[in-house]
Amino acid sequence: MTMAAAATREDAFTAADLDVADELGVQMVRFIRALNKAKSQVGKQGPDGIERAAYAILFHLIHDGPQRTSKLADALHAEISTISRQSSALVQHGLVERQADPVDGRACLLAPTSEGLRVFEENRRQRNKWLATVLADWPEEDRQTLNRLLHRLNSGIETSIPQIADPASAQAKGA
């Protein structure tokens, strides 16, 4: 969608549309806080001493295949130094291995090991049991609706990332 089309579309929002969006924003903040609280109860490190944040690297490697550190940093919106430190811990624990990049032999790719896949699946199993507990008293239809709507919301967010305006360039245009 072009900026002009987005601006025209924004002008068409009613007060009711904006009220619904405001309530969604409130509920999303509440949701993120609840998730952060749940994650903090688990601890910053897993039982193997690896930072919980490092599992995001493992997730990407398992789902998207071997990658360079720079691509992981981009995907995870993190600094290369952070990804490098976390991936080194994963390598030391045998969950990730470094492989020669077939395109550029001087570079390396990070790839999950079979132990990394096993640990990932165990973490996933624990997460799924927790979520099943949370949703245990929900009707099946509500659980399916939640999954469908979250998928739709995530897809919309992924395709409509807001562009943050540079205040200096906005002032220059208005002057």
pLDDT at 11: 75
CA pair distance 46, 59, nearest whole angstrom: 15
Share the mean pLDDT of the chain: 85
pLDDT at 68: 93
pTM of the complete model beyond 0.75: no
pLDDT at 38: 82
Give the rounded distance of the alpha carbon of 10 from its chain centre. 27
Asked if residue 76 lies in contact with residue 57, where contact means CB atoms within 8 angstroms, the answer is yes
Eight-state DSSP code of residue 7? H
pLDDT at 162: 79
Residues with pLDDT less than 70, the chain: 1-10, 43-49, 164-175
- Residue extents of the structural domains in the chain: 54-120
pLDDT at 3: 46
Q: What is the CATH number of domain 54-120?
A: 1.10.10.10
Please report where in the chains the tokens 């640990």 appear, as a residue. Answer: 119
pLDDT at 71: 93
- Strands 96-100, 108-112: pairing is antiparallel
pLDDT at 115: 93
SS3 27: helix
